[in-house]
Amino acid sequence: MEELFEAYNRIILEHLKHPRNMGEMESPDGVGEAQNPACGDTMRLFIKVETDRIIDAKFLTFGCGAAIASSSVTTEMIKGRTIEEALMISDAVIAEAMGGLPPTKVHCSVLAERAIQAAVSDYRRKKEKKENSQDDR
């Protein structure tokens, strides 16, 4: 455990000790979940969207320290971005924002990338459903 902490850089440790935007969100516009089948770590991402811009993001992650730090960094990265901009955020971009990940932890940022995609898909699905129900009136 101590060895792993030594492998984490200052940015990761800071997000691990003080995760940003952790917790559940009330009535989110989109919720996405991603799980890594190899380790079982799971991330749930909640987004609030206004005119296709993410105005708030929260997360619940059950997993390793790097997964929690990735989640925290990701919520900070997507806030204020448009849906299209958020979709451009890859695992590599997240890992870079974290100052890099130890080789055995590189897959942890993939979890965050997938959670963004899942939350956006959910948002789009709900939006379409809402628009269709308004058309039916």
Q: Is 45 helix (H, G, I), strand (E, B) or coil?
A: strand
CB nearer to ligand FES: give 34 or 86: 34
The first and second tokens of residue 4, run together, are: 């792993």
Q: How far is the CB of 93 from ligand FES (least distance, A)?
A: 17
The first and second tokens of residue 130, run together, are: 């809402």
Q: How far is the CB of 121 from ligand FES (least distance, A)?
A: 20
The first and second tokens of residue 26, run together, are: 């009330």
Determine which helix (DSSP H) or strand (DSSP E) holds 12, and give its type and residue range: helix 10-17
Of 108, 115, 90, nearest in space to 32 by CA: 115
The burial of 32, by beta-carbon neighbours within 10 Å (0-12 exposed, 13-18 middle, 19 or more buried), is given as buried
Catalytic residue status for 39: yes
Which member of 5, 9, 24, 39 is catalytic?
39
Catalytic residue status for 64: no
Which member of 108, 110, 115, 116 is catalytic?
108
CB nearer to ligand FES: give 36 or 82: 36
Task: Write out the residues near ligand FES by the rule CB under 6 A.
Answer: 36, 39, 41, 63-64, 66-67, 105, 107-108, 111
Question: Which are the catalytic amino acids?
Answer: 39, 108
